[in-house]
Amino acid sequence: MTIATTERLLVRDWTDRPADLARLFEIYSRPEIAQWLGAASRFPLTDPAQAAELLARWHRRHAAYGERYGLWAVEVRETGVVVGTVMIKPLPGRDEQVLTDDIEVGWHLHPEAWGNGYATEAARACMEREFATGTPLIHAVIAPGNTASMAVARRLGMTPVGRRSDWYGGEELETFVLARSA
């Protein structure tokens, strides 16, 4: 299902088709991606079968929300190549099994896609979609040192509010926020 489109991108559900699972594995098996995810027990993926498990975990986690929240594939419309993931979802709290009312935007792009503005473009489209539902505030939480993702947050117009440890099991993360326009 299509979540959002931009001039260059299609944001859609990840599927269990072999091509999607292969690309999911290709992205999340890369150390340069995994180093920023903060889930050392799950990343980087080391076996292609883990891609299907990851996708199933994402779907289970957000099933109750229908199509409103999720982690979605970012596909370049001109080529059909999936370049990464964009997400809009409730942030997990200090107890990671409990989702909060705080909404997160995030992105994970394959290194081959870095520097093309895809993260900003996909995230902006998804944030606009979420703001249209009435959400007043969207957060981006970023691992300290991930200057590339912090630059994306700034390009999105998000304001840095410092490090917070409210989410993801209490991990200290650089936090950015953007409020819905009146």
Give the pLDDT mean for 124-149: 97
Q: How many domains does the chain have?
A: 1
pLDDT of residue 41: 61
pLDDT value at 182 more than 90: no
Query: How many residues in total does the chain contain?
Result: 182
Confidence of residue 97 (pLDDT cuts 50, 70, 90): confident
pLDDT of residue 135: 97
Give the pLDDT mean for 61-76: 91
pLDDT of residue 48: 96
pLDDT value at 156 more than 90: yes
pLDDT of residue 84: 98
Query: Which helix (DSSP H) or strand (DSSP E) does residue 50 occupy?
Result: helix 49-62
CA 153 to chain centre: 12
Instruction: Say how far apart CA 172 and CA 182 lie, in whole Å.
Output: 31
Across the chain, mean pLDDT equals 94
Confidence of residue 73 (pLDDT cuts 50, 70, 90): very high
Q: What is the 3-state secondary structure (H, E, C) of 91-120?
A: EECCCCCCEEEEEEEEEEECHHHCCCCHHH
Q: What does pTM read for this prediction?
A: 0.94
CA 126 to chain centre: 10
CATH code of the domain in which 16 resides: 3.40.630.30
> DSSP secondary-structure letter at 171?
-
Task: Encode pLDDT of 112-125 as tens digits.
Answer: 999 999 999 999 99
Domain that holds residue 85: 2-179
Confidence of residue 126 (pLDDT cuts 50, 70, 90): very high
CA angle, corner 148, sides to 152 and 39, nearest 5? 100
Contact between 22 and 51 (Cβ < 8 Å): yes
pLDDT value at 38 more than 90: no
